Amino acid sequence: MATPLEIIKKKRAEAINRIHSKGYLSTKRVHIGMATCEIAAGSKDVMDVFQEAVKKGLTSVHVSQKGCAGRCNLEPTVEVIEEGKIPVKYCKVTKEMAEAIIERHLKKGEIIKEWVIK
């Protein structure tokens, strides 16, 4: 039978593995609005694009959902947060725009200014 210290070490290792596998320590975070109104505006499709990119090898990016931001006229919204930089919020994001955000912003570091919430 394992000692209490061995049990704690095992649980700690499992927790660390979970944190890493979920991408919680990523240097880039993408938050997609997934409130009911945003889903109705198409955010589920946008979320699918980002999740598929991560599955296909987009690294150092954690994709998650966020709740209502109270900006229904700008939905779907996507917020990109990079370590050491000011967050960027994109509005009225389509699947095609999501693909461009991945290619231009997340991979090349280019902010697509014409889509940013001002």
- Give residue-wise pLDDT tens across range 2-32: 999 999 999 999 998 887 767 677 889 999 9
Contact status, residue 43 vs residue 33, Cβ threshold 8 Å = yes
In a domain, 72, yes or no: yes
- Domain at 65, CATH number: 3.40.30.10
Residue 4 covered by a domain: no
Write out the two tokens for 43.
């955010």
The pLDDT of residue 91 is: 96
| Single pTM value for the model | 0.81
Domains contained in the chain, number: 1
Residue 83 lies in a domain: yes
> Among 14-18, 49-53, 74-78, 99-103, where is mean pLDDT lowest?
14-18
Q: Does residue 78 sit within a domain?
A: yes
Q: Within a domain: residue 76?
A: yes
What confidence score (pLDDT) does residue 27 get? Answer: 87
Amino acid at 104: R
Is 71 a residue whose pLDDT tops 90? Answer: no
68 assigned to some structural domain: yes
Q: Is residue 15 part of a domain?
A: no
Taking Cα atoms as reference points, which of 27, 97, 30, 98 lies closest to residue 64?
30
Residues of the chain with pLDDT > 90: what percent? 75
Mean pLDDT of 105-118: 95
Dihedral, 30, 83, 25, 110 alpha carbons, nearest 10: 40
Q: For residue 90, list its beta bridge partners.
A: 78, 116
| Mean pLDDT value across residues 44-70 | 92
In a domain, 18, yes or no: no
Q: What is the mean pLDDT of the chain?
A: 92
* Residues spanned by the domain of 60: 26-115
